[in-house]
Structure 1
């Protein structure tokens, strides 16, 4: 309504409308690319404040952004709404838009140029061809198969299965099939590869083949984003993201079950399948596998190439720390929380050097620690319907929830501790909008248009 009512309004109102629209476009790309709701709100408010709009009302939900500003108490406020539909994690666009936000706040671009650059971001294809993502997903699953205890044959099968899953899911996504069915297809393809490997007579564990590919299917699910939103007070968005994650996990379960049923109809049985079973014990294999998994995931989500090696190093250290704490007999959440805290502390410093948002480093580095397999195992047991399986499923789900909360809270605490340690910390501490993983850490009005209060005077 606000956008429609300014057709014949004062030029200043038209400018305010352009600023609000720019902020909404920035928020849309950040939210759809994987940023948390708190980071989206803070980035939008930083841009608006620097361009002269003080105290705008910003509302973020899972599928919609709205921004409102009352420029005159006697007039209807300007209110713009934008829907968010794209859901793929894309750290290339996230990095570019984050840099645009920093440029706006630093007075390097004006509103017109910023809008032009935003149009370029959403219309320009990625620098890396799409087959690179397919190869990266295959490499991630191969690395997971290795640190789960599988040999070279299991790793090779997991690589081929992951590549096939990626291409099938890409095709279904282009057909605009809902995400649940896309995950069903992924689980089915993973199971069929395991069945084919068992039927071929190769000495492989089909459970490890399925498990390695389940990690890939679960890695892109927004568990971390959901928990970050919950910890920062955006409960509606957090609930929606968690429901999406659980529905996607249920799709994997349905896909695995469907693949086993199809194999039975074809006369191929692989015995007792335990997707989620692991067999790693050796620290070097675990550490190298975690590093390779994190690096491959970073490539798969279009993270800048300059940050892939640091992500691998951080993931290696975090996996070792998690394992060392576990060897002392402490519960898994303690090791996961300590590793996440280390990731949060280091990611903030590294992100400044490689010029990316900390989120681009945090999420790939934490992927090897995510409790996706525990969530899958818990839901699988719950679907069996027996009293024993229900109890075991609830225990697995509670363990997974505690690990996920430990990871999210550890990362956020690490970022919160690291931010005030930067230069000019005392000036910035009062401007911090909570633990930030995307966006600027301060807002200013340097050299930009004056606020309406300054223009009207006392």
Structure 2
């Protein structure tokens, strides 16, 4: 039985790891499993773990006659940081292998959280701009739309960064972002440029859309964490409502200035004539999103390649007329199937590969279109409901496809290792495979040999 001090330190370490995983976009099921595995390795057997969207709690009762130890930690929402997530994933693996004790693990975790990034913040801003430019290309826009999307994304990110430092709620950040995107469309409409303002607004607000939260909500629902799923769904809807408010305010300001933008068609896209343009745009979007989220640079090219292939799969299946959900599901299944092996080879968590690769297929535009049409009322209500149902179907296809791909990839990887062991010839340098052994087993072996 652990002492009270060591038990508290163990539970606190598990909670801090879970907080970082949850704030980086990991599912509640993955966070719970990681915390339970860490506690088991560190000597705490079968603790009670409760994960919600805003708090984490762990409780452990060493004996029925003794009071239970209960620790609660609030989840601090922060920007997605795949660099810290990768370092924490390596730390978790070292702890589970028995290479790091509790004291060293806590020290490493503190250094990971407190240290900055090699990549400066302005570089991340350029990454968001490149992401929106890639989406503009994916939507079929020309060089004008791509350039405007890049400039708008840079302006929106810098404005939201200033507002976030003043601790304004996330809803107001979304309102400001939607207003800036619409004002840029108003300026374009005031020039002789022959561009559709709807396409300009759509390309500009891509970085604000809450498709990731919507997909994460359905992933938690599929895993049985309904409270967390409901909270993430509410956040996604509120974020999209902020964008609609900002766009509406920008249009009102344009009318006051005498610029007639016309009726915006929410989520308007240009008809794609070539699937290659969509694939290139998806690759740029995915790699730029990973870059802006501080993902290790060694995975950027691979993420772009996976996203491009997934987009080609989605486009090719969509040609057969089977609807939008099934092509997205096939593409998401491919992402989940490939990301497991790719992440292991590049030494990053699969989440770092999966999320950027599915970003170009997220249903953020459908959510925006549905809520915008619902706010208009009248005959647009039915179209808005249809758009929301489409967004739900696409998000469910993405979440279920990725999860199924991960389930299939795990046994396939084990069988591939067995086949490699049977077919490979003698190795001239290095072993074929080394199984890590626990320190206790090593000590027992050495004592028996003595």
Both proteins in one fold, TM over 0.5: yes
1:253 equivalent to 2:244? Answer: yes
* Structure 2 match to 1:266: 257
* Post-superposition offset of 1:190: 0.4
SS in 2 for 1:59: strand
Contact in 1 for aligned 2:210/2:240 (Cα 8 Å): no
Of 365, 368, 375, the match for 1:373: 365
1:96 equivalent to 2:87? Answer: yes
* Structure 2 match to 1:355: 347
* Structure 2 match to 1:432: none
- Scaled by the length of structure 1, what TM-score is found? 0.89
Mapping of residues 377-456 of structure 1, within 5 Å? 377-386=369-378, 388-423=379-414, 446-447=438-439
* Structure 2 match to 1:292: 284
1:105 equivalent to 2:105? Answer: no
In 2, Cα distance between equivalents of 1:424 and 1:115: 36
* Structure 2 match to 1:193: 184
* Post-superposition offset of 1:53: 1.0
Q: After TM superposition, which residue ranges in structure 1, 4 or more long, deviate above 3 angstroms?
A: 424-427, 444-449
SS in 2 for 1:38: helix
1:143–1:286: structure 2 CA closer, same or farther, 3 Å change rule? same
In 1, Cα distance between equivalents of 2:240 and 2:139: 20
* Structure 2 match to 1:171: 162
1:23 equivalent to 2:14? Answer: yes
* Structure 1 match to 2:427: none
In 2, Cα distance between equivalents of 1:103 and 1:261: 56
Of 173, 183, 187, the match for 2:174: 183
Of 139, 142, 149, the match for 1:158: 149
- Scaled by the length of structure 2, what TM-score is found? 0.91
Deviations 1:292-314 (A, max 9, x none): 11111111111111111111000
SS in 2 for 1:423: helix
* Post-superposition offset of 1:270: 1.4
In 2, Cα distance between equivalents of 1:41 and 1:225: 15
* Structure 1 match to 2:112: 121
In 1, Cα distance between equivalents of 2:261 and 2:417: 62
* Post-superposition offset of 1:72: 1.9
Contact in 2 for aligned 1:22/1:115 (Cα 8 Å): yes
Deviations 1:177-213 (A, max 9, x none): 1111100100000001111111122222221111012
* Structure 1 match to 2:331: 339
In 2, Cα distance between equivalents of 1:31 and 1:335: 29
Contact in 1 for aligned 2:140/2:278 (Cα 8 Å): no
Contact in 2 for aligned 1:219/1:367 (Cα 8 Å): no
In 2, Cα distance between equivalents of 1:11 and 1:58: 18
SS in 2 for 1:58: strand
SS in 2 for 1:72: coil
Larger CA deviation: 293-302 vs 212-221: 212-221
* Post-superposition offset of 1:224: 2.2
1:162–1:426: structure 2 CA closer, same or farther, 3 Å change rule? closer
* Structure 2 match to 1:4: none
In 1, Cα distance between equivalents of 2:134 and 2:398: 21
Contact in 1 for aligned 2:210/2:236 (Cα 8 Å): no
Of 50, 70, 77, the match for 1:79: 70
1:448–1:67: structure 2 CA closer, same or farther, 3 Å change rule? farther
* Post-superposition offset of 1:425: 9.6
Deviations 1:345-399 (A, max 9, x none): 000010001001101100000011111111110110000011x200111011111
RMSD: 1.8
Contact in 2 for aligned 1:226/1:241 (Cα 8 Å): yes
1:127–1:268: structure 2 CA closer, same or farther, 3 Å change rule? same
In 2, Cα distance between equivalents of 1:175 and 1:82: 24
* Post-superposition offset of 1:122: 1.3
* Structure 2 match to 1:56: 47
Any stretches of 5+ residues in structure 2 without a counterpart?
419-435, 442-450
In 2, Cα distance between equivalents of 1:233 and 1:90: 26
Mapping of residues 115-154 of structure 1, within 5 Å? 115-154=106-145
In 2, Cα distance between equivalents of 1:75 and 1:424: 46
1:448–1:101: structure 2 CA closer, same or farther, 3 Å change rule? farther
SS in 2 for 1:67: strand
